[in-house]
């Protein structure tokens, strides 16, 4: 199966919105994997993964604490991320996100799950 890089207008808008939030965090890098997913990483560990969801449209996946995952999965639009959900990952389709500002806290939490302690301490001093 051939996977291509994110290219739809909706997906590119999603990547731009998430990039604006994720790149505010210390030492974050952006990477496109062999499956065409765009990920935001710290210390080479992904904490956000974006992809094209076929007929469903673009999707946003984030690593969160298990307790946060349980809370999000109880909400209507979040679902356990295929293949990696057992590690605390949740996803939501872009069409169900009303504002990326409302998921900024989950991006930050994902960052803290993946970042080394020295960066988590540094993050605590950022607004």
Count how many domains the chain has: 1
Q: What's the number of CA atoms in the CB half-sphere (13 Å) around residue 48?
A: 29
Domain assignment present for 58: yes
Q: Is 75 domain-assigned?
A: yes
- Per the domain annotation, does 4 fall within a domain? no
Residue 50 lies inside a defined structural domain of this protein? yes
Q: How far apart are CA 51 and CA 12, in angstroms?
A: 10
Per-residue confidence (pLDDT) for residue 119, from 0 to 100? 93
Return per-residue pLDDT of the chain as tens, 127 residues.
Answer: 445 678 889 899 999 999 999 999 999 999 998 888 999 999 999 999 999 866 788 999 999 999 999 999 999 999 999 999 999 999 999 999 988 888 999 999 999 999 999 999 888 776 6
Is 3 part of any domain?
Answer: no
Provide the pLDDT for residue 124: 77
Name the residue range of residue 114's domain. 9-123
Full-model pTM: 0.92
Nearest one of 40, 42, 41, 65 to 50, comparing CA atoms: 40
pLDDT given at position 100: 87
Q: Would 88 be classed as within a structural domain? A: yes
Residue 81 belongs to a domain with what CATH number?
3.90.1150.30
pLDDT computed for residue 53 by the predictor:
67
Q: Residue 1 domain-assigned?
A: no
């Amino acid at each position: 199966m051939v996977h291509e890089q994110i290219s739809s207008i909706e997906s590119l808008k999603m990547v731009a919105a998430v990039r604006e939030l994720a790149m505010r965090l210390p030492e974050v890098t952006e990477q496109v994997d062999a499956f065409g997913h765009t990920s935001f990483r710290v210390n080479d560990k992904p904490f956000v993964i974006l992809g094209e969801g076929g007929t469903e449209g673009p999707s946003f996946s984030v690593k969160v604490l298990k307790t946060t995952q349980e809370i999000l999965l109880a909400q209507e639009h979040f679902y356990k991320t295929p293949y990696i959900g057992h590690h605390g990952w949740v996803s939501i389709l872009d069409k169900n996100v009303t504002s990326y500002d409302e998921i900024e806290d989950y991006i930050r939490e994902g960052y803290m799950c993946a970042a080394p302690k020295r960066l988590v301490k540094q993050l605590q001093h950022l607004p």
